[in-house]
Homo-oligomer: A and B are copies of this chain.
């Protein structure tokens, strides 16, 4: 193979790795909320174990990107593709962490129907999961419009965060015991993790915009 076709094979492999890692984190979020809704500690433990595989994938992809930068000395669009991947995986790994964080709190909550005091958490999780799916897809398909639409959806997650916050404060006002206060604080953290997942999806989309345009958050950097 020529150096160019070796490089293209490596870039294709990089894309496949990103698709795989994207699928893993998307599944992790969806499962983490499923486990929370059904108080299923077995699934919660599975999510925590699976997060180690996500961490390993991040390292593998990182190593591939740095090797590509070092050995192939890419320029222009190829360099942008690799820099984008290198930045994206940080956010993807963090999304995986937050799914595991939610699973850990699910185990600690150990309660029947904890979501009765924070009914909008599943809706937050749905939108966050859709955002994660869309941001990875927008990179793979090089779909600038999809990246921009996904960035815009973050407001929905932020609004729902405030709704959940109000639900929990209502629960805590007036008549809460220590057990209830504990659960409310944990649910607040879960909502915060979902809000952060939305932010990480936005970061990924900002890098997709950069990949396509050379502009990162409106600044020309390459």
How far is it, in angstroms, between the C-alpha of A221 and the C-alpha of B181 when the chains are bound? 45
How far is it, in angstroms, between the C-alpha of A67 and the C-alpha of B221 when the chains are bound? 8
CB distance from A156 to the nearest CB of B (A): 20
- State whether the Cβ of A16 lies closer than 8 Å to any Cβ in chain B: no
What's the dominant secondary structure at chain A's contact region?
helix
B-chain residues with CB within 8 Å of residue A54 when the two chains form the complex: none
B-chain residues with CB within 8 Å of residue A62 when the two chains form the complex: 216, 221
Q: A73-B73, A86-B86, A217-B59 are in contact. Are A67 and B222 (CB under 8 A)?
A: yes
Q: Which A152-202 residues sit within 8 Å CB-CB of chain B?
A: 165, 168-170, 172-174, 176-178, 181-182, 184-185, 188-189, 192
User: Within the complex, which residue of B63, B67, B221 is in contact with A59, where a contact is CB–CB below 8 Å?
Assistant: B221
B-chain residues with CB within 8 Å of residue A55 when the two chains form the complex: 217
Q: Which residue of B lies closest to A75 (CB)?
A: B70
CB distance from A61 to the nearest CB of B (A): 10
- State whether the Cβ of A69 lies closer than 8 Å to any Cβ in chain B: yes
User: Within the complex, which residue of B70, B185, B217 is in contact with A168, where a contact is CB–CB below 8 Å?
Assistant: B185
Copies of the polypeptide in the assembly: 2
B59 near A79 with CB under 8 A, answer no
Q: A86-B86, A184-B172 are in contact. Are A216 and B59 (CB under 8 A)?
A: yes
How far is it, in angstroms, between the C-alpha of A217 and the C-alpha of B70 when the chains are bound? 20
CB distance from A35 to the nearest CB of B (A): 22
Size of interface on A: residues with Cβ below 8 Å to B: 39
User: Within the complex, which residue of B69, B220, B222 is in contact with A79, where a contact is CB–CB below 8 Å?
Assistant: B69
Q: A172-B184, A176-B173 are in contact. Are A76 and B70 (CB under 8 A)?
A: yes
Q: Which residue of B lies closest to A173 (CB)?
A: B178
Q: A59-B219, A63-B219 are in contact. Are A172 and B176 (CB under 8 A)?
A: yes
How far is it, in angstroms, between the C-alpha of A178 and the C-alpha of B170 when the chains are bound? 7
- State whether the Cβ of A213 lies closer than 8 Å to any Cβ in chain B: no
Q: Which residue of B lies closest to A181 (CB)?
A: B172
B-chain residues with CB within 8 Å of residue A79 when the two chains form the complex: 66, 69-70
